[in-house]
Chains A and B, each alone.
Chain A
Amino acid sequence: MNKQILSSLAGLALAAALASSAPAQPPPKFSPATHPAPDTLLFRNGDLLYGRLLAIDPANAVQWRHPDAAQPIEFKPDSIAQIDFPAPKNSTAPPNNACRLLLANGDSLEGGLVSCDREAVALQTWYAGRLSIPRASCQSLVFIRRSPAVFDEITGLDGWTQAVSAAPAPGESGQWTYRDGAFYAGKTASIARDLKLPDAAEIQFDLAWKGALNLAVALYTDSLRPIYLLNKEQGPDFGGFYSLRLDNASYRNIDLWPIKKKESLHGLGQVPFPSLNNKDRLHVALRVSKAQHKIALSLDDTLVKEWDDPQGFAGEGTGMRFVQNPGGVIKLSHLRITHWDGIFEEPAADSADACWFENGQKTAGAIQSISNGKIAFRPPNRPVEIPLAELKAITFARRQTSPPQTEAATVRATFAQGGALTFILETWRPDGMIIRSADFGQARINPAAFTRLQFLSPEKKAAGGPKG
C-alpha cells in the first residue's frame, strides 16, 4: 500500500471522525473558497510565506501549498503565529433579525436572532448553522438593518474618473491602475466616483503601502477632479466636502478638514497616531451621519476619532475621491459602502436587561424570551411583547455567574464582517473547520467566515486570551 493510498484512507477516517463529532443540527454545506489572492502564513520568528492553506491539524501539522513546491509543506503548528486570508465575496442574504451578539469575553458573532430564553441565546448563522450561547456569556445584541451595499468592491476602472492634480506637486503625475480587485498608485494620482453615499453611511476600505502613506480621501464631494487647496478660490467651483488626510510622513497624523469654497481652511482635529509609522496596511472604517454632523474613524477595528463639525455637515455631494499625494506606492482595496443605522455608541450592559428602541429610548427590565420575531419583556410594571423590528439593541444584565474561561483557547479568528472569536481549533479544512468554543461548545464553521487566524502564544493563553 503506497503512501498516497494511506494518506487518502487517513483522510477518509478523519473526515468520518469529524462528521461524528459535529454538532447535532445539520451542518451547513460549504463549498471550498476559491480566492484568487494567496493566503499569508506568518511564522513566530517573523518569516512569511504566501500560498494556500490546505489543512490544520493542531496536534500534527499545518499543511501549506506553495507555488514552488510540488508537494504540500507540513509546518509545525507551534511555529505559526498567524494566517491571513483574502476577504471573501459575501453573497449570503442577510438572515431574519440580523444582529451582532457581543460576548462578555470580547468576542462577537453575527447571525439571525432565533430565540432567547433564560438560559441561552440562539443565533442562526451562515457560517456555522445554529449556535446556542449561554445568556451568562452574552453582553449585548445590536440589530443590523443591513441593506444591500451601496458599493461593494473595486472591480475595475470603469465608472471612475482619473484626473491630474492641479497642484504643482513635485515629481511626475501618474494614474491609478487596477489589478486583482485593487487600485494602485505610485505617483501623484487622483481617482473619483459618484458613489451615491447615503446620508448615514459606513465606508470601509483597506490600504497598504510601501514607503510613505500620504493619502487624501474626499468624502461627500461633488467634484470628480482634485481641488488644489491653495488655489481653491481661483479654481473651478465645487461643492463642500470633507478631506480625510492620512499622512505618516510629513505630519504623521490623521486629520479631517471640511473644505468649502470661500471659506478658510481649518481642521476638525488631528489624531496623533504614531504607530502608523510602523504599519504598512490599515483597515479604515468611517461612519458618517449627516444629521448628526459626525464622522467616526476606526482603524483596524479600533475607534480612533469622532469628529463633530460645529458648522454643520459640509459635504454637498455624494462622491468620493482618492488622491495619492507624493509618497510611496499605495494599494486601495475592499472598498465597501453600506447604509448605516447612525448609532455611534454601542449600548452598555447594566444590572438589568434593557431594550433599546429605534427612537433612542431605553426600557429596563427582564427578558423573558425571544421567539417568532418578538421579545417577551418584563419591565417593572407589566409584561409586554415587543416586535424585534422596533428595537435597535438589547443589553443583557450582568450575571453573577462568571463567564466561561478562555484560557484554553488556541486561536483568535477575525470575521470578514468584523468582530472576532476565540476558540480551540480542532481541525481546519477548506470545506469546514471544527472548533470548540468555551461559550457554545463544538461547532463546524465555514472557513470563509474568517480573514485571519491568530494562533495565541502560550503567554496570551495564560492571560485568558485577548479581550475586545
Chain B
Amino acid sequence: MRGNAALVLLFVCLVFPAVLTAQIQPDGLFISRGAPLIQSAGQPLATPAEQGDLLQFVDGSVMHGGLKRMDAASGLRWENPAAKNPIDLQPGHIDSIRFARAASVTLAPTSHLRFVNGDDLFGSVTSLHDDHLGFSTWFGGSLTIPRASVQSITFLSSNYTLLYDGPSDASGWIIGGHNPDSWTFRDGSFISGSPGTLGRGFNLSGSSTIEFNLAWNDIFGLMVNIYSDAVDHLDYGNSYLLGFTRDEVNLRHLDSNRQFPLRNFGSAPLPNPAAKNKIHVIIQSNKEEGTVAVFVDNVLAKRWKDQNGFSATGGGLLFQQVGGAGAVVKLSNFKISQWQGRFEPETSAVMTNVDVIRFINHDQAAGKIAGINDGNVTLALGETLLQIPLQRVTQINFAATPVAAATRGPWEVRACFPRGGSLSFQLIKWSDEEVSGQSAIFGSLAFQPGQIRQLEFNLGHAQAVAPVVSDKEFEGLDE
C-alpha cells in the first residue's frame, strides 16, 4: 500500500508538474491496486445545517434565508434569520436566488432546444414548419414556438436517462477516510481546500455524459476517475482517469490486471482563452465508439479513442484534489446522464448563416431546412430536397436571423430547472403556490415554486470574470 502511494505520488507529479512546487503531502494520496469497493473506509459527506435559499447580489454579496413572495409591484420579500423583520427588496442589484430545495420534474426528453436568447429546454420536437416549431414541454404540454427564436435542436441519444442532477445536499457522496476535512458542501457546491477524495456511485454502465462546473482560486490539480470501482479512494480497478490542471487535461486508463496498469492517452490544452477560473466541463464517454471526450464551455478539448475498446468495470465517479497548499477547488451543477447508441449528445451549437445538420457520423450538411415530418428532416440543397431520417441526425442549427436586442427590465428573470433547462420570462408573481410570468416565446407561463432551482435577475448584467494565473515561472516575468 505504501509502495503504491509512492507510485501514485510520482504519477501525480508527472501528471501535474505544477504541483511539484506546491507542498504536496505524500500521504494525501491513497490508491489501492485492484481493491474491491470499500465504502467503509470513507464517510458520508456531512451536509451543513440548512441555511435556506441563497440570495446573491451583483456586487458579490450574499445573504441566506427564504423568499416569501415577489411581484413587480411590491418587489421581493426575503426572510433572513439574522434580520428582525422580513426584508423588502427591489431587484436592481440582485444577481440570483438559489433555492435550497427544488423538486425534480418528470422528464423523458428526446431533444434539447437552445434559444437565441440564451434559454434552453428539454422536451420533444413534434413538428417543424417554415415559421414555427411544435415542442412538447414538461410544464405546458405541446406548445408552438416561433422558429426564429430557436437556435438549435439537439436530438438526444436513445435511452437518454438523467442519473443525477445536483447537488442540493451532500447525501450519497463519500469523502475519503484519510482526510475527512478535505471536502465540504455549501450552497450547492463541493469545496476542497486540501488533498482528498470525493466520490459517489452512479451505476454507470452505458455511455455517459458527465457535466459539472469547476472553479479554482490557484494552481490546482484535480483527478477525475470515471467508471470507478471505488468511490472512497482512487483505485487501480479498470477505469479511466482524467487529470485536470488549469491549463490542460490528460487521460489515462487504469487497469490492475495489466502488467503496466497505467496507459497514457496524452494531454490537451484546456480551451479557456479568456483564462477564466470557472469553467463548465463535459465528459462524454462513448462505449460503442470507445472514446472519451472532454469539452470546456462547450468547446471540445480532446476526444481520445481507446484502440482496445472502451474498458471500464466500475460505475462510480471519484474526484481527488491534489493541488498545492492554498488551492481551493469548487465543484457544482452536476448533471450525469446515460445513453445508448453510437452517437453522443451534441453539447454545443454553432451560429451560422445557413441551416446546418449534423449527422451521427460527425459529418454535416448546410442548406435550408424545410421541415420535419414523418420522422424525416427535409433539407433543401439548392433545388434538391433531401429527406433525411431523424435517426441519422444529431443536431440542427438554424441560420442566425437578425434579432433586435431586447431591452431586459429588472423583472425579466431566468428560471433554471432541476434536471436541466432554463427559461427567461417577465415575472408577474411569485407566491407559495405559483410562479407566473409572461414569456416572449411561450406567452403566459406558470410553475410551481419548487420546480425552479435558481432564478437569475439582471440578465444583461455582465459578470466580472477574473483571469487566472499563467503558468510562466519567474524567469519569464518582468521585474
Interface set of A (CB-CB < 8 Å, partner B): 43, 45, 47-50, 61, 66-71, 73-76, 79-80, 165-171, 186-188, 190, 210-212, 214, 216, 218, 226-230, 243, 245, 248-252, 259, 274, 276-278, 321, 323, 325-329
Tell me if B219 is interfacial: C-beta within 8 Å of chain A.
yes
Q: List 6 A-B contacts (CB under 8 A).
A: A47-B63, A47-B64, A49-B63, A70-B90, A211-B466, A328-B468
How near does chain B come to A457, taking the closest CB pair, in angstroms? 15
Chain A residues closer than 8 Å to B82, beta-carbon distance: 43, 45, 47, 75-76, 79-80
Given contacts A243-B479, A325-B477, contact A69 B21 (CB under 8 A): no
Contact A169 B477 (CB under 8 A): yes
Chain A residues closer than 8 Å to B88, beta-carbon distance: 69-71
Give A229 to B475 CA distance when docked, in angstroms: 8
Chain B count of residues within 8 A CB distance of the other chain: 49
Contact B61 A49 (CB under 8 A): yes
Among listed B91-99, B373-381, B386-394, interface-contacting one = B91-99
Chain B residues closer than 8 Å to A67, beta-carbon distance: 92-93
**Would you call the interface of chain B mostly helix, strand, loop, or mixed?**
loop
| Contact residues of B between 23 and 68, Cβ < 8 Å to A | 51, 57, 59-64
Given contacts A69-B88, A170-B470, A248-B218, contact A48 B62 (CB under 8 A): yes
Given contacts A61-B84, A75-B84, contact A327 B63 (CB under 8 A): no
Q: Which one, A49, A74, A170, contacts B85 given CB within 8 A?
A: A74
Give A214 to B226 CA distance when docked, in angstroms: 35
Give A212 to B324 CA distance when docked, in angstroms: 14
Contact A45 B51 (CB under 8 A): yes
Query: In chain B, what residue has the closest Cβ to A279?
Result: B326
Chain B residues closer than 8 Å to A73, beta-carbon distance: 83, 87
How near does chain B come to A182, taking the closest CB pair, in angstroms? 15
| Contact residues of B between 457 and 479, Cβ < 8 Å to A | 464, 466-479
Chain A residues closer than 8 Å to B476, beta-carbon distance: 167-170, 230
Chain B residues closer than 8 Å to A252, beta-carbon distance: 22, 324-326
Query: In chain A, what residue has the closest Cβ to B473?
Result: A250
Contact B472 A326 (CB under 8 A): yes
Give A68 to B94 CA distance when docked, in angstroms: 8
Give A276 to B92 CA distance when docked, in angstroms: 35
Give A74 to B87 CA distance when docked, in angstroms: 9
How near does chain A come to B60, taking the closest CB pair, in angstroms? 8
Contact B466 A329 (CB under 8 A): yes
Extra inter-chain contacts (17) besides given A169-B476, A169-B477, A325-B477, CB under 8 Å: A43-B82, A48-B62, A68-B93, A74-B85, A169-B470, A186-B467, A211-B277, A216-B479, A226-B478, A227-B478, A228-B478, A274-B326, A277-B326, A323-B478, A325-B478, A326-B469, A328-B468
Give A68 to B64 CA distance when docked, in angstroms: 16
Given contacts A69-B88, A186-B467, A277-B325, contact A170 B472 (CB under 8 A): yes
Chain B residues closer than 8 Å to A187, beta-carbon distance: 467
Contact A190 B478 (CB under 8 A): yes
Query: In chain B, what residue has the closest Cβ to A51?
Result: B61
Given contacts A169-B478, A227-B479, contact A68 B91 (CB under 8 A): yes
Give A317 to B184 CA distance when docked, in angstroms: 50
Chain B residues closer than 8 Å to A229, beta-carbon distance: 477-479
Chain B residues closer than 8 Å to A68, beta-carbon distance: 57, 89-94
Contact B469 A327 (CB under 8 A): yes
How near does chain B come to A73, taking the closest CB pair, in angstroms? 5
Query: In chain A, what residue has the closest Cβ to B325?
Result: A274
How near does chain A come to B195, taking the closest CB pair, in angstroms? 14
How near does chain A come to B467, taking the closest CB pair, in angstroms? 6
Chain B residues closer than 8 Å to A326, beta-carbon distance: 469-470, 472, 477
Chain A residues closer than 8 Å to B80, beta-carbon distance: 75
Given contacts A47-B64, A165-B478, A218-B479, contact A249 B469 (CB under 8 A): yes
Give A247 to B474 CA distance when docked, in angstroms: 10
Chain B residues closer than 8 Å to A49, beta-carbon distance: 57, 61, 63
Contact A210 B466 (CB under 8 A): yes
Chain A residues closer than 8 Å to B90, beta-carbon distance: 68-70
Chain B residues closer than 8 Å to A243, beta-carbon distance: 479
Tell me if B81 is interfacial: C-beta within 8 Å of chain A.
yes
Tell me if B205 is interfacial: C-beta within 8 Å of chain A.
no
How near does chain A come to B88, taking the closest CB pair, in angstroms? 6
Give A48 to B54 CA distance when docked, in angstroms: 11
Chain B residues closer than 8 Å to A167, beta-carbon distance: 476-478
Tell me if B217 is interfacial: C-beta within 8 Å of chain A.
yes
Give A251 to B219 CA distance when docked, in angstroms: 11
Contact B87 A226 (CB under 8 A): no
